[in-house]
């Protein structure tokens, strides 16, 4: 494998210079992401299919166990790990911009090379955050509805529409939204930054969070759009994830590429 095939061997050192989000940067990212998806669709389709099948397995297990409330937690928790699921599409877009091969083998080799770098640490943090969200969500449910008679989500809607149920949904939505915004801020530039440059994961997280806080309004718009598109993609039996997840993954790289100097 040559140096050109393994750009992780000679990545630029340290943080790039960040600039303000240019006008229309979200629309540009979506268009460029769609072009990348069409140019190299195989890895993106594999990513979307993996997320879709994982969702089906979770759905089957919760229905089998009779604890369909966990589906609500999964739906609201998925945006926490969606950037991690789409990580390979970042690499595909980076390779397209750098003129490198985009075949599945080359992408997998590049991602495998990350095992000895900083990306796994941030990945583990995202997984821990998702598990903590499930724990916290279950605590909130037990606090408000633990003593309520309930069979499952579809046959117990009256429980959710009670005073305790509405309070539980309000608190859970607020806590889940805060979690999602925090980890969006950490990952929106942090993940592509770790792929593109030689920098430790704490520095990448703080730089990403600082940028998201500085440019709160435009970055919040991107976060809301991601959440809305992912939610819509999950409605038709998760089938929309097959296209929407990789599309957003490619677009996320182009968000980074527009604000970071020397992104490629």
| Span 222-227, average pLDDT | 92
Of residues 29 and 170, which shows the higher confidence score? 29
pTM: 0.82
Paired residues of 13 in beta bridges: 198
Long-range Cβ contact pairs of 163-172 (< 8 A, separation 24 or more):
168/140, 168/141, 168/143, 168/144, 171/140, 171/144, 172/72, 172/76, 172/137, 172/140, 172/141
Query: pLDDT tens across 14-65, in order?
Result: 789 899 999 999 999 999 999 999 999 998 999 989 888 887 877 777 766 6
Output the pLDDT for position 127: 81
């Amino acid at each position: 494998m040559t140096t050109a095939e393994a750009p992780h061997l000679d990545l630029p050192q340290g943080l790039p210079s960040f600039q303000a989000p240019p006008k229309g940067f979200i629309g540009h990212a979506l268009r460029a992401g769609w072009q990348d998806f069409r140019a190299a669709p195989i890895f993106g389709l594999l990513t979307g299919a993996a997320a879709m099948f994982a969702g089906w397995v979770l759905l089957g297990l919760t229905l089998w166990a009779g604890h369909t409330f966990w589906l609500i937690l999964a739906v609201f928790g998925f945006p926490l790990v969606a950037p991690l699921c789409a990580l390979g599409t970042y690499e595909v877009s980076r390779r397209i911009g750098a003129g490198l091969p985009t075949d599945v083998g080359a992408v997998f080799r590049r991602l495998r090379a990350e095992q000895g770098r900083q990306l796994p640490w941030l990945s583990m943090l995202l997984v821990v955050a998702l598990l903590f969200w499930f724990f916290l969500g279950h605590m909130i449910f037990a606090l408000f509805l633990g003593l309520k008679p309930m069979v499952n989500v579809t046959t117990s809607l009256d429980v959710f529409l009670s005073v305790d149920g509405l309070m539980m949904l309000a608190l859970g939505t607020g806590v889940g939204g805060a979690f999602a915004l925090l980890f969006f801020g950490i990952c929106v530039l942090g993940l592509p930054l770790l792929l593109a440059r030689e920098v430790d994961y704490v520095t990448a997280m703080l730089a990403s969070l600082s940028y998201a806080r500085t440019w709160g309004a435009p970055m919040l718009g991107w976060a809301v759009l991601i959440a809305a598109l992912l939610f819509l993609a999950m409605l038709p039996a998760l089938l929309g994830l097959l296209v929407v997840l990789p599309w957003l993954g490619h677009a996320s790289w182009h968000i980074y590429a527009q604000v970071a100097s020397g992104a490629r």
